[in-house]
Structure formats: structure tokens, C-alpha cells
Amino acid sequence: MESINLTTIKKELTVEASQETAFKVFTQQMDLWWPRTHHVGDCPMRNVVLEPRKGGRWYSNHENDSEFTLGYVQTYDPFDLFVLIWQINGNQQYDPELVTEVEVQFIAEGPKTTRVKLEHKNLHRLDDSKAIESMDEGWEYVMAVYKTYTEQ
């Protein structure tokens, strides 16, 4: 049966490289594999920077010398596990409150074969609008305004 999980994206691939090489290229050479067409804001991207350690910053530099934070490193566990926190919301804006995990596992299947499993989790949190909370809160607001007016 067809299964579409809306709140998670899963990708899996096998690379012909050691676990160590796979982990290092992913975490230390992100700028070399990051798709140039994808960036925050209108200005073309110069490079993407990831500080390869727990708590490390993750940001992009742009041609007009601006800088955009993308998130940070949550887990840096060479050469098995790497977790990035992605903080760009559905409107392509950085949101410091937003936490969506990009978990990347590196599984050695041979000396020169590594299975890479990527999972981008909790995508339902990408909501950017504080104004449109749940319908219930919306109605609460309307009723509060209504009450204020009627009691004047």
C-alpha cells in the first residue's frame, strides 16, 4: 500500500566509501555538496558553513555579505551519527524557536561501503504563522474581542 508520511522525509543510499570518509565529507565538506539553487533569501549564496562539533553553528554566506543562520549541530558522534537542527520554516525564514531534526546515520556495511540514512523529522513544526494557531484559539480571540465590545 502506498504510504506517505507527511511529517518525516526519509532518504537512504549506499556510498562506495568508508564510514569515516562518508561522515567527514558530510559534516566537514558540506559546502561542496550543498545544492547552490537552495538558499534562504533572494541574494545568491556564496557558501554554507557548518562547525563540525556539538553545538556548532550552521549558516550560509551571501554575495551581499549577509549571513543567514540555518540551525545548529545537535549531535556530533564520529563516525556513526550526526544530527542537525534545521530552523528554516515554511516561509523560508529562520525561526529560533523552530526545532526540526535532520538525523543522519552512517552504517558501515564493508570497509569501503557505507549505508547513509537521512531522516528529516517533525516537519509539521514548520508552521510559520503565530497568527493562525488552532481554530480554537482563533475563536477564543474573536470571543474576547466580542466581549470587550459588548461590555462597553
Partner 1 sequence: MSASAKAFNALGDPTRRVIFEKLRDRPLAVVDIADGLPVSRPAVSQHLKVLKEAKLISLKIAGNKNIYEVNREGILAMRNYLDQFWGEALDNFKKLVELTEKDNKQQ
- DSSP string computed for 60-106: EEETTS-EEEEEEEEEEETTTEEEEEE-B-TTS-B-TT--EEEEEEE
Is position 105 an interface residue for partner 1 (rule: CB under 8 A)?
no
Per-residue cell: 100: 526540526
- Provide, rounded to whole angstroms, the least separation between the CB of residue 95 and partner 1: 11
Check the CA dihedral 132-9-77-56 and report its sign: negative
Candidate segments 58-66, 69-77, 130-138, 142-150, binder of partner 1 by CB under 8 A: 130-138
CA pair distance 88, 68, nearest whole angstrom:
10
- Provide, rounded to whole angstroms, the least separation between the CB of residue 152 and partner 1: 28
Q: Which of 42, 129, 149, 152 binds partner 1 (CB under 8 A)?
A: 129
Residues in touch with partner 1 (CB under 8 A): 4, 6-7, 9, 11, 13, 15-18, 21-22, 25-26, 29, 32-35, 37-38, 89-91, 112, 116, 118, 120, 123-129, 132, 134-135
